[in-house]
Amino acid sequence: MKSKRLIFLALLAAAWMIFAAASSLAEDTLSEYAVNGWNYVDQSMDVSHGIPENAIGVLARIRDAGVLRVAIEPYFPPQEFIDPSLPEGEQIVGPDVELARLIAERMGVKLQLVPMDFSLVLTSVNDGDCDLAISALMYTPGRAVTNTFSKGYYYGDEDSDVGLLVQVRNLEKIKSLDDLAGKIIVAQSGSLHEALAAEKILEYQEFRRISTIQEVYQAIANRWADAAVVNVAAAKSYIEAHPQQKLALVPGLQFQIDQEMQGDRIAAKKDELQLMYFVNGVIDEVLADGRYMAWIDSYQEYWDRINQSAAN
């Protein structure tokens, strides 16, 4: 009996030593990584050899599963959109899809795109249903409370600001935010546009949150709402593709985005710093050789061709 007790105690001690060693490795690994003062990760790791041996957390899970699951809302051209002419399972295309594919390639795993409403992309990584969210996401301090963000990889131009979309016939009636008093406004739920609308527009009849950007556009086209808070570049693309809907952006009325929040970023579960260091390594690669901007130009032309074919 005594010998069995000694064996049990020895096994218990060994198990504790293994646990302590693993915990120490995890702490040492995490101690190498940190977020900056704005609470997003701006440092990188060398990704040329794939996922490191000391990977922990979600990065280790991705390696073990052999699959990178990416949440995406495929309705924000040219970054991500649907080409219905392609085979099922390959219809989501765009620069963000190319970036996701490259991240999976550098990890040595398969890519699984998981399309969903924009309001769910961040929640999906928090719940563990997806590993990353890649969907033209902008950093905000509020989002950083629940998610870890990468460095920015696409900053666009002046059209990256947020503006007000109305019907052409209403351009004389809506020239400033004061003109929205008594009007119905809409924005995509969970978006930066929604947050800016809530902050900047103080008087209105009703503020409706809508799940997809396509439904936001339709709300204005069908006169279900008077004005929509939208991304300027995406709205211009939509207006050009749908001239029959007679939509327009209110001239000179744009919400300026703080410099610290500019740039499309990738999101992961809170405190997944090692994973984000890997992601940043891939971002460095596509920025250094100009690949992401080349993708943007190529897929903008792609999107324009699809719209021209649909119009004809």
Q: From first to last of the 312 residues of the chain, give the pLDDT tens digit.
A: 545 454 544 444 444 443 444 444 444 444 566 666 556 788 999 999 999 999 999 999 999 999 999 999 998 889 999 999 999 989 999 999 999 999 999 999 999 999 999 889 999 999 999 999 999 998 887 888 889 999 999 987 655 578 999 999 999 999 999 999 999 999 988 787 888 888 889 899 999 998 888 899 999 999 999 999 998 888 888 898 889 999 999 998 887 777 667 789 999 999 999 999 999 999 999 999 999 999 999 999 998 888 776 665
* Bond preceding residue 78 cis, omega within 30 of 0: yes
**Token representation of residue 129:** 């249903």
Say how far residue 169 (Cα) sits from the centre of its chain.
34
Give the DSSP per-residue string, 121-180: HHHHHHTTS-SEEEEEEEP-HHHHTTEEE----B---GGGSEEEEEEGGGTTT-SSGGGG
Say how far residue 153 (Cα) sits from the centre of its chain.
11
Number of Cα atoms under 13 Å in the Cβ half of residue 85: 7
Q: What is the pLDDT of residue 192?
A: 79
d(CA 225, CA 186): 7
Q: What is the pLDDT of residue 29?
A: 45
Q: What is the pLDDT of residue 145?
A: 86
The pTM of this model reads 0.76
Where do the domains of the chain lie, and which CATH numbers do they carry? 48-156+263-311 (3.40.190.10), 158-259 (3.40.190.10)
